[in-house]
Structure 1
Amino acid sequence: MLKRVKQPYDAFLVLDVEATCVAGAGFDYPNEIIEWPVVLLRWKDKDIKGKARELQVVDEFRSFVRPTWRPQLSQFCSALTGITQEQVDGAPSFPEVLDHFRSFLEKHELIDPESGRRLTRFCFCTDGPHDIRDFVIPIPPWLTWDIVDVRRVVGEWHAFSTPDPDGGANRRPVGAFPLPRRVSLSIPRQLHALGLEPFEGRQHSGIDDTRNIARLVIELARRGWKLEPNTPINPNRRWPWMGKRGRVLEEYYP
């Protein structure tokens, strides 16, 4: 019988964005989001003490996004993500997508329509820290809380579940800092580590990546893992290419 643990959050928004990219560029390239997919998870069995282990998919949100700084997608980007030029040309801009997504949050009573304040405890879940920390510029108020880095959580679970050669004598308690060294796991490797079926869909498709990350979150909850933020977000982070309100400086050429 798998244990139920007290879970501090009531809902989870699983997110895996796709963004403009060129071959060989790192995270200091001014990537523009071109797909914003989210899977909303809620507890199915949370009791009055806050204990739960069954998460279920409640709804999905997906929109392509029209880039404005470099509106023409590179061949590398289209091949990687499967997103076509026609799809982004006909899509709303990122501020418009965020407005639509805010309506999604309001519909599910996650934020107040008037003030935007949170009505329930929810957090975002991503594969690594990059999707929100490096790509969302500027960061709206309802996204400024810390996030659950699912890759890191799976790594913690894997380290905790794998026997140590010394019998665990030097193992740190779960959640202690600094965290033990571990291999960074891709989404397919995370699925394998948790004994789940292989990746479903197309890798680097935002919505397919998001759905598979949601599978990981659901499985971690089922195994009795406490789901809470583990990665800080700095809404005031600056990049070399950044002008006012996150706009790309005209003189910046990567």
Structure 2
Amino acid sequence: MVKQPYDAFLVLDVEATCIQGTDFNWPNEIIEWPVCLLRWQDKDKEGRASKLSLVDEFRSFVQPTWRPHLSEFCTTLTGITQADVECAPKFPKVLDTFSRFLEKHGLIDSRTGKRLQRFTWCTDGPFDIRDFVVKQCFISKITIPDWLKVDVLDVRKSVGMWVALQSVAGGSSSTSPTVVPRRLSLNISQQLSALELPAFEGRQHSGIDDARNIARIATELARRGVRLEPNTTILPGRRWQWMGKPGQILEEYCLT
């Protein structure tokens, strides 16, 4: 077992509005906020641990405001329907409800919102918080909460590095020169396969199912002795060309 610096892990995989042909530079609005909370079962006094377990889950659909009607492409991709989002709270309300989930589990202070325990977000790639959350908070005209600006573990990056290191170790010899591994970028199904785990469970691009499978991957990395710690950063003040004043989307920069 290795020393693990964090006590809890918030596995997040948002789904967002999309139109076929657009990319991460488009003003996507979050329409699903799913989180799996993981904790250690066996952390000792020195901080060594290898067994993670799922403690609780949070899930809410989110009502978009700029483009309230989902595209057919978006519904086909995510499985989220117009009825799902029309009955859902808007993003600021979802964050309020989710903060109470964090308070219930002793992760943040109910008065200040500050962290009471060391936790990190876990995502598949850097996009969920770096892109989607930053854009959504701008669109909703809210400040990113302190508990959302903390550490982020990109699980995809960790798996890619683990696979690369295993490849180097398997082909090395005492006479081989130093080899710098080439990190791979694997999707969730490929990560599961690389770790010899059962195939994806559920519906791909369903936020909650994606989050559950990412949680499986993080749990397996811990079992294999990988130190789970942040490996990516976010820029809360990042701007895209379509951003005007807070909450204002400049339509001329949106091609569709």
Instruction: Using structure 1 for the length normalisation, give the TM-score.
Output: 0.92
Q: How far off is 1:140 after superposition?
A: 2.0
User: 1:218 matched to which residue of 2?
Assistant: 219
For the residue of structure 1 that corresponds to 2:132, the secondary structure is coil
Q: In the aligned structure 2, how far is the partner of 1:97 from the partner of 1:62?
A: 9
Assess if the C-alpha contact under 8 Å between 2:14 and 2:30 holds in 1: yes
For the residue of structure 2 that corresponds to 1:210, the secondary structure is helix
Q: How far off is 1:141 after superposition?
A: 1.4
User: 1:193 matched to which residue of 2?
Assistant: 194
Q: Does 1:19 align with 2:24?
A: no
RMSD over aligned CA atoms reads 1.4
User: 1:87 matched to which residue of 2?
Assistant: 84
Q: In the aligned structure 2, how far is the partner of 1:171 from the partner of 1:36?
A: 41
Q: In the aligned structure 2, how far is the partner of 1:40 from the partner of 1:243?
A: 35
5+ unaligned residues in a row in structure 1: which ranges? Answer: 173-179
One-letter code of the match for 2:201? E
Instruction: Using structure 2 for the length normalisation, give the TM-score.
Output: 0.92
Q: In the aligned structure 2, how far is the partner of 1:251 from the partner of 1:129?
A: 27
Q: In the aligned structure 1, how far is the partner of 2:165 from the partner of 2:247?
A: 40
User: 1:57 matched to which residue of 2?
Assistant: 54
> For 1:106-117, what aligned pairs fall within 5 Å after superposition?
106-117=103-114
User: 1:156 matched to which residue of 2?
Assistant: 161
Q: In the aligned structure 2, how far is the partner of 1:120 from the partner of 1:243?
A: 37
Cα deviation, 1:93-118, whole Å, max 9, x if unaligned, reads 01110111111111101000001110
Corresponding pairs, count: 244
Q: Does 1:245 align with 2:222?
A: no
Q: How far off is 1:170 after superposition?
A: 2.6
> For 1:58-137, what aligned pairs fall within 5 Å after superposition?
58-137=55-134
Q: How far off is 1:145 after superposition?
A: 1.8
One-letter code of the match for 1:18? E
Cα separation, partners in 2 of 1:243 and 1:140, compared to 1, 3 Å: farther
Q: How far off is 1:241 after superposition?
A: 1.1
Q: In the aligned structure 1, how far is the partner of 2:230 from the partner of 2:21?
A: 31
Cα separation, partners in 2 of 1:105 and 1:64, compared to 1, 3 Å: same
For the residue of structure 2 that corresponds to 1:135, the secondary structure is helix
Assess if the C-alpha contact under 8 Å between 2:32 and 2:59 holds in 1: yes
Q: How far off is 1:252 after superposition?
A: 4.0
Q: Which runs of 4+ in 1 moved over 6 A?
A: none
> Between the two proteins, what is the percent identity of the paired residues?
65
Assess if the C-alpha contact under 8 Å between 2:161 and 2:182 holds in 1: no
Q: How far off is 1:165 after superposition?
A: 5.0
Q: How far off is 1:166 after superposition?
A: 5.8
Cα deviation, 1:3-52, whole Å, max 9, x if unaligned, reads x1100000000000000001110110000000000000000000111110
Q: In the aligned structure 1, how far is the partner of 2:159 from the partner of 2:234?
A: 20
